[in-house]
Amino acid sequence: MYEYLTGLITAVKPTYIVIDVQGVGYQVHCPNPYHYQVDRQHPVTVYIYQSVSDSDISLYGLVDEEEKQLFLQLLAVSGIGPKSALAILASPDHQGLIDAIANNDVSYLTKFPGIGKKTAGQIILDLQGKIQQLSLTDQVDEVTDHQDEPALLDALAALRALGYQERVVSKMKKQLAKKPGRTTDEYLREGLHLLN
């Protein structure tokens, strides 16, 4: 089992990053791949969860130990798999998630793709009282490179990959296009904020 990988980010795609660890490229699925930038000079550490099934072995990457702990707690809920947990954690407001669980806020949880009332209720039932008030902080570094339309298209592709329906993504495109000059990460965060 992997705890973390430290290496160079060689690719950033809508659903995953590629991290090169001493010449081996690992495909790592992330809640928000655009948190990372391709950088072949400065190594980064990504906290890892390895999922093994009959037909697949996948790696899931989290920003820090606290986010990984929250991811593992979500996986402990009946009906939540790694992809659903990633979609939930794609929202930058992790404290809002923790508060929603603590306050029985089913409507907040059903805003995430693939989470219906039954699953939201199960999340609350399984995690209420167990989920700690994690000291989750937003550690995403602001990207200053100017990106325009390609950044928006990448962010929309990431929303689709997270499971949001095409009609919702199309609506989002109109709203996000009014804010040119943002990075993919900023567009994605803004889109998730509007959706939630």
Answer yes or no: is 57 within a domain: yes
State the CATH number of the domain containing residue 10: 2.40.50.140
Lowest mean pLDDT among 59-73, 82-96, 143-157: 143-157
pLDDT at 135: 41
**Would 17 be classed as within a structural domain?**
yes
Residue with the larger pLDDT of the pair 95 and 19: 19
Please write the tens of the pLDDT for every residue from 40-68. 999 999 999 999 989 999 999 999 888 99
142 in any annotated domain: no
Report the amino acid identity of residue 175: Q
Q: For the segment 93-109, what is each residue's pLDDT rounded down to a tens digit?
A: 788 888 889 888 999 99
What was the pLDDT predicted at 132?
55
- Give the global pTM: 0.67
At 108-121, the pLDDT tens digits run: 999 888 889 999 99
Domain residue limits at 104 = 65-127
Nearest in space to 180 (alpha carbons), one of 143, 160, 151: 151
Q: Are residues 49 and 73 in the same domain?
A: no
| 136 part of a folded domain | no
The structural domain count of the chain equals: 3
Residues 77 and 119 in one domain: yes
